[in-house]
Amino acid sequence: MKQLQKNIRRVAVFLCALFVLLAAWGAYSLSTYGSRWFASSANTFMRTRKKNVIAGDILDRNSAVLATTVNGRRVYNSDLNTRRAVVHAVGDSGSNVNNSAESFFASYLYGFNSSFLERLSFALRGEQRRGDTIRLTIDSRLAAYIASIFPSGKAGAVVVMNYKTGEVLTEQSFPNFDPQNITSAVKNDPLKPFFNRAVQGLYTPGSTFKMVTAASAIENYTNYASLTFNCTGQLMLGNRLITDAGTNTAENIITKHGSIDLKKAFQVSCNNSFAILALQLGDARLRKTAEDFGFNDNFLFRDLVVENSSYPTANRNDGEIGWTGAGQSALTASPLHMCMIAAAIANDGVMMEPKLLISATAPNSTQRAGLTAKVYRKPLTADQAAVLKEYMRAVVTGGTGTGAGISGKRVCGKTGSAEIDGQENTNAWFVGFLDEAGSPYVLSIVVENAGGGGSVAAPMARKIFTWMLNNGYK
């Protein structure tokens, strides 16, 4: 009998422990994945709730109304250019844009976080319940300006962030569309306007990845400053021929840089040098540095859903390792992630988590949620970041990114021209930042099938930074 009682107690303790673990896991899952569950198209409870609650407003950082509810219908900013420019961040009433503010912050917009007393108050007044008003970090004025200068007819993305706080000032995808006039042409557009390339697009980063390769060299070699490479213009690694921009083997035009050090190789974006460097580092060390910057991680940010970037782990022969060091091979990264990498360099080696929500405010003016800056990773020391800043500054002052330069301002950056099979032209990249105490801003630009990063994306960066400096971002 005593043994039976002991066994019962053991089972009871075990079940209690399981219950505690289940409760803890539930709390963790709700805090980590809650917004993703609410945003899911499979959430039938959400569809029912939308019919019974007046959705809250969505505002930009300057309190401009981006979305509101009028007579039970969701309407967007009155200016066509503005609502098109912010559509991928804000979303649309048909949930065509995945994980936009309309769906990802639905728990606030449809009052899931309201208390019993708040619900009772609406009931006693005989009013339909209202959701919370949310204010986003994005600037609709900046978004509209960027949309006005993005190359017409091209696909791509632009992300602008505050590298000190992680606030996303804009995350735009092109082509965009009007959320109040979704035509069959939009639905059938082969460039897929509903797809948010800023956070979902996984691109070959091209030479912008040389920020990571250079960081690995600085981390692993005490003599990194005296490393030299002999660029002959063509480097055969296995069955992979690595060349530099401007080379045309068919016409016997070969770009050669000769003997150059690491800083110069970064400045002129020498593929041969970075392929050699990748082989010297070895795949394990280069992959470790990439993973320190967030490659192969599962991004679980509070405010955004971002596709995971990938550093390849298969088919790692010399040709692929060398091509990876130059930013090609099977590397993939989103524009937002490349923006975060540049932001970590700008922010003394500290990578902040991207933030999209400034506040959620209840109908009774109670603030439900607020902006709290959060460190995501520390991939670099401050000293290592300082070296890379100077490398990126050299790109703008006398390298491939001179088109991004602004007189009197320290603009730092890295160009990229990513080769994509089947495309006539390369994808044009530029990532960079303002190295100014009062203007902690970083951006990432990719224009698909457009040409060189230095000629296409860098001048856009100059225009964007100039607009920001002239409109209060200083």
Tell how strand 53-54 and strand 129-130 pair up: parallel
Q: How far is CA 418 from CA 190, 210, 310, 428, in A?
A: 21, 12, 16, 7
Tokens of 58: 């969505």
Tokens of 445: 């630009």
d(CA 273, CA 267) in angstroms, rounded, equals 11
d(CA 360, CA 369) in angstroms, rounded, equals 5
| Closest to 161 measured CA to CA, from 347, 298, 404 | 347
Contacts with 298 (C-beta within 8 Å, 6 or more apart), sequence order: 308
What is the residue type of 175? P
pLDDT tens for residues 328-337?
A: 999 999 999 9
38 pLDDT more than 90 = no
CA 430, 60, 84, 95 dihedral sign is: positive
What are the backbone angles phi and psi of residue 456, rounded to the nearest 5°?
A: -105, -55
d(CA 79, CA 102) in angstroms, rounded, equals 19
pLDDT interval class at 154 (50, 70, 90): very high
Tokens of 291: 């993973």
86 pLDDT more than 90 = yes
232 pLDDT more than 90 = no
Q: How far is CA 184 from CA 81, 187, 325, in A?
A: 20, 5, 43
Q: Domain 206-355+373-470: what homologous superfamily?
A: DD-peptidase/beta-lactamase superfamily (3.40.710.10)
397-425: average pLDDT:
95
What are the backbone angles phi and psi of residue 159, rounded to the nearest 5°?
A: -130, 135
d(CA 465, CA 149) in angstroms, rounded, equals 13
225 pLDDT more than 90 = yes
The radius of gyration computed from the CA coordinates of the chain, to the nearest angstrom, equals 25
d(CA 12, CA 10) in angstroms, rounded, equals 5
d(CA 441, CA 160) in angstroms, rounded, equals 7
| Closest to 426 measured CA to CA, from 236, 194, 245 | 245
d(CA 276, CA 264) in angstroms, rounded, equals 14
Percent of the chain with pLDDT over 70: 84
Q: What is the mean pLDDT of the chain?
A: 89
d(CA 344, CA 380) in angstroms, rounded, equals 8
371-397: average pLDDT:
97
Whole-number pLDDT of residue 117: 65
Residue boundaries of the structural domains of the chain: 206-355+373-470
Whole-number pLDDT of residue 54: 87
Quote the Cα angle for 112-114-116, to 5°.
115
Q: How far is CA 413 from CA 90, 167, 237, 347, 416, in A?
A: 29, 20, 29, 14, 10
Q: Which residues pair with 429 in a beta bridge?
A: 416, 446
Are 150 and 445 in contact, with CB atoms under 8 Å apart?
no
| Closest to 235 measured CA to CA, from 316, 319, 317 | 319
Are 448 and 155 in contact, with CB atoms under 8 Å apart?
yes
pLDDT tens for residues 101-151?
A: 999 999 999 988 776 566 666 656 656 788 899 999 999 999 999 999 999
Predicted TM-score of the model (pTM):
0.89
